[in-house]
Amino acid sequence: MSDDRRLFKGFRDRLGGFYDLWLKPPKMHKDILLVDGWLTIDEGMALHDLASRSEHPIVEIGSWMGRSTIFLAKGSAKGEGQPIHAIDTFNGSSEHQNILRGGTTYHMFVQNLRRGNVHDQVIVHRGSSNDVVDEIEGPIGLLFIDGSHEYEQVLRDFQNYAPKVADGGIMARLSHLGRCLPGGR
């Protein structure tokens, strides 16, 4: 083995799993990370794992352009193949208005699900999570809440959907603000 190669191998060994995940991600991760969103590979794989173990339909509040939806759908396909109910206005949250400027993420979302080959697994509920609550019957096996990050709306999402979660089901919540703001939850 050449010196360069040995040096590279030593560097790679020290980086361990970080190298594999970030510098040379498996194809599935690479494809999904091409979809715009904030979810990291670790968070996506956690959702993937939970979805693969879900015994009832999966509900996602807040899909944006589909990054988390695709992780959930691919995970579910490894397990019982439970459908994914994706709820979104596709108009963005308050913090996205400067990016969307009145536009919608809906068409990119549909296109990304098709590219990810998961569109058949996803039932889309286009509207506010407050308005479409009756469209979700339950029991829910996995509830992933990543819609509005305003405290009052997060609380409403929990109040509206948590009672539909099955015994032994799982609720997951992601807060991106927690990464940037001290004290964010």
Ligand X SMILES: C[S@@+](CC[C@H](N)C(=O)[O-])C[C@H]1O[C@@H](n2cnc3c(N)ncnc32)[C@H](O)[C@@H]1O
Q: Bin 181: left if φ > 0, else alpha if -120 < ψ < 50, else beta.
A: beta
78 and 52 Cβ atoms separated by less than 8 Å: yes
41-52 helix and 67-78 helix, angle to the nearest 10 degrees: 40
Task: State the Cα angle at 109 between 149 and 36, rounded to 5°.
Answer: 65
Contact map string, positions 22 to 61, toward ligand X, x by CB under 6 A: ---------------xxx----------------------
Classified as helix, coil or strand, 44 is helix
Query: Do the strands 122-126 and 84-88 form a parallel or antiparallel pair, or are they unpaired?
Result: parallel
CB 77 → ligand X: shortest distance, Å?
18
What are the angstrom distances between the C-alpha of 173 and each of 10, 92, 135? 38, 17, 21
Q: Which residue has the tokens 């009672």?
A: 163
Shorter beta-carbon distance to ligand X: residue 8 or 38: 38
Q: Is 112 among the residues that bind ligand X (CB under 6 A)?
A: no
Site for ligand X in 56-95 (CB under 6 A): 62-64, 67-68, 87-93
Binding ligand X (rule: CB under 6 A), the pick from 82, 116, 146, 169 is 146
| Beta carbon nearer to ligand X, 7 or 100 | 100
Give the count of residues interacting with ligand X (CB under 6 A).
22
Q: Minimal distance in Å, beta carbon 8 to ligand X?
A: 34
Please, what is the minimum distance in Å from the beta carbon of residue 3 to ligand X? Answer: 43
Among 54, 76, 112, 153, which residue sits at the site for ligand X (rule: CB under 6 A)? 153
Contacting positions for ligand X (CB under 6 A): 37-39, 62-64, 67-68, 87-93, 105, 128-129, 146-148, 153
